[in-house]
Amino acid sequence: MTLREGQLVLRDGTVFEGELIGSQANTISSGEVVFHTGLTGYQEVISDPSYAGQIITFTTPHIGNYGTTPVDNEANRVHARGVIVREEARRESNWRSDQSLDSYLKAMGISGIAGIDTRRLTRILRDTGAMPGAFGSTDFNTLLQAAKNEVGTSGVALVDQVTTKQSYVVGSGHYKVVAYDFGIKSTILRCLSEIATVTVVPASTTAQEVMALNPHGVFLSNGPGDPEAVVGAPQHIRTLVDGGMPVFGICLGHQLLTLALGGSTFKLPFGHHGANHPVRNLRTGTVEITSQNHNFCVDASSLDGIADITHTNLNDLTNEGMSVRDSRAFSVQYHPEAGPGPHDSRYLFNEFRQLMEAK
């Protein structure tokens, strides 16, 4: 495999040299650079629509060891802007593998850069926060300007780029669930399909349109970017909650439910991206190891008197879950479906089923 030399330039002028991998269709790839700390699941991470607008840095030094397979895709196409790795595996070794990581990136039209000192890059992002950057084979000044021109994720309506354009149905379970697609993952749909027939609807769907489908419950999916930029969704969610509808939110859905209740959110310095975040369940006292991917967070104090805080992140004590008082709504900031894992929190889907059963 012939590699082309390239460089990664951050908005502050920091430069890293490496070799370009994946698709070479774009001379420059730019986006908000974040880091992911999971040891496995690189294909699920790359194909997660929640990474729209971002370039993913993998802190695990070897990426691509076990190849890729279409079964593990979380979406039909990749919305991430690019990937950064220390070393791409020279060969994949797994009986499930259909193609190498490099071939996968080329098929998806996504560029990457390898040979980067990801430890140094991660330390920079931890100290300064997620930062726009650009990589490619062009000169330093061109890449620096591209990084400076990158708008990041704050205030950007990224959900519009990833949501479905038309409704569709998956599963054949006992209950009827309407799932808002703010960037929903395939693994979430598989988990919901075990308990319900799921009608997936666009992010712009109104509460009245949802109620016309006569669901037993409504699911608010994960998704990319700033919850404040998802225009209209909080108002429709509030109508559903006030109407007594069982509602379960994950990640961006958790943040949107907060906005629907009159609460507020804020942007974390470098976000939570990984499959190893400890979260305490305040109702049981147990600690769950969770999969996470979000840059924005709920301000727990803004929910005083409105919702009970149910989960807390043990790394930084930020909010990870809530149960809305005098309603049938609850949500968590992390990913209980967790493809490929861990699965400590999958009990939450059963709690959603119990809410619908009670209704």
Active-site amino acid positions? 251, 335, 337
Which residue shows structure tokens 């890449």?
143
Question: Is the CB of residue 299 less than 8 Å from the CB of residue 186?
Answer: no
Helices and strands (H and E) in the chain: how many: 10, 19
Distance CA 281, CA 322 (A): 10
Amino acid (one-letter) located at 121 = L
Radius of gyration, alpha carbons of the chain: 20
Task: Assign 312 to helix, strand or coil.
Answer: strand
Question: Is the CB of residue 211 less than 8 Å from the CB of residue 140?
Answer: no
Q: Which bin fits 211, alpha (ψ -120 to 50), beta or left (φ > 0)?
A: alpha
Sign of torsion, CA 101 73 119 288?
A: negative
Q: What is the DSSP string of 246-283?
A: -EEEETHHHHHHHHHTT--EEEEEEEEEEEEEEEEETT
What Å distances lie between residue 88 and 62, 102, 226, CA to CA? 6, 8, 31
Provide the token pair at 265: 């959110």
What Å distances lie between residue 18 and 9, 14, 112, 274, CA to CA? 11, 14, 10, 24
